[in-house]
Structure formats: structure tokens, C-alpha cells
Amino acid sequence: MEDKFLKLAGLALVAFIAMAVVFQIAEQLGTFARGIACAAGIGVMVGLPLCVLRTFFGADARPRPGTWNGLVAVVAIFAFSLLFYGMSGQLDGSAAAAMILLPGFVTLLGILRG
């Protein structure tokens, strides 16, 4: 179990640093680069909760039927915020990276709770 936590912590740290750097560079390059960074961020935001589930429960893991609504709501709220602030140029790289990792963190807390 500790190996899984360390693997997820390493993945989260790498994703945080990579997304922070990508958003800082995209901020300097312009609107098109910001759009690509936002799309990549939303992709990581959607994929990370699935990585959390599959790391702990195996390749055939699926969220319980009652958790889909909450997970979709969390991803939608943070994806909309990321898109709005990221495309307007008001989002710092570390703030964007934190927004991207929050759905995965919420999924991890949901797993630990049950």
C-alpha cells in the first residue's frame, strides 16, 4: 500500500511541475499556446482520477455508480475555471497545476474514506 502512495505522490509531483512549467511558458507565447496548455491540463485533470482508481484497485476498476456525479461536477468546475482564467492570461503556472491535480486528490480522499 505504501508503494502505491509513493507512486501516486511521485506522479502528482511530476505532473505538478510539468504543468506549472507548461503554463508559465504558454503565458509568454500567446493565446494559441494557452489553448494547448489548457487542453493538456483538462486531459490530465480527467485522466488522473482514473489513474488513482487503477493504481489502487487494478486495471478493471471503475468508480461506484454514486460517485460519477460528484467526480464529473468537480472536473467540470475546475475545467471551466482553468479554461476561463487560463485563456484570459490571469492564471499563474502553479495555480493552474494545483487546479489540475485537485480532482485526483478528491478521488484519493474518496477512496481513503470508504
Tell me if the pTM is above 0.95: no
Q: Are 51 and 104 in contact (CB under 8 A)?
A: yes
pLDDT-wise least confident of 18-27, 35-44, 103-112: 103-112
Q: Which of 110, 85, 89, 72 is nearest to 28 (CA)?
A: 89
pLDDT in tens, 59-112: 777 777 777 788 888 888 888 988 898 888 888 888 888 888 888 777 777 766
Range of the domain at 11: 2-113
DSSP state for residue 24 in the 8-state scheme? H
Q: What was the pLDDT predicted at 112?
A: 66
Q: How many domains does the chain have?
A: 1
Q: What was the pLDDT predicted at 93?
A: 85
Helices (H), 58-92: 68-88
Q: Are 16 and 101 in contact (CB under 8 A)?
A: yes
**Cell 454514486, residue located:** 66
- What average pLDDT does range 31-50 have in this prediction? 87
Mean pLDDT taken over the chain:
83
Q: What was the pLDDT predicted at 30?
A: 87
Q: How far apart are CA 101 and CA 14, in angstroms?
A: 11
More confident residue, 93 or 1: 93
CA angle in degrees (0–180, nearest 5) for 43-107-70: 85
**All three cell numbers of 7:** 507512486
For residue 88, what are the CA distances in angstroms to 14, 30, 71, 81, 102?
A: 26, 10, 26, 11, 21
The number of angstroms, rounded, from the C-alpha of 71 to the middle of its chain's C-alpha atoms is 12
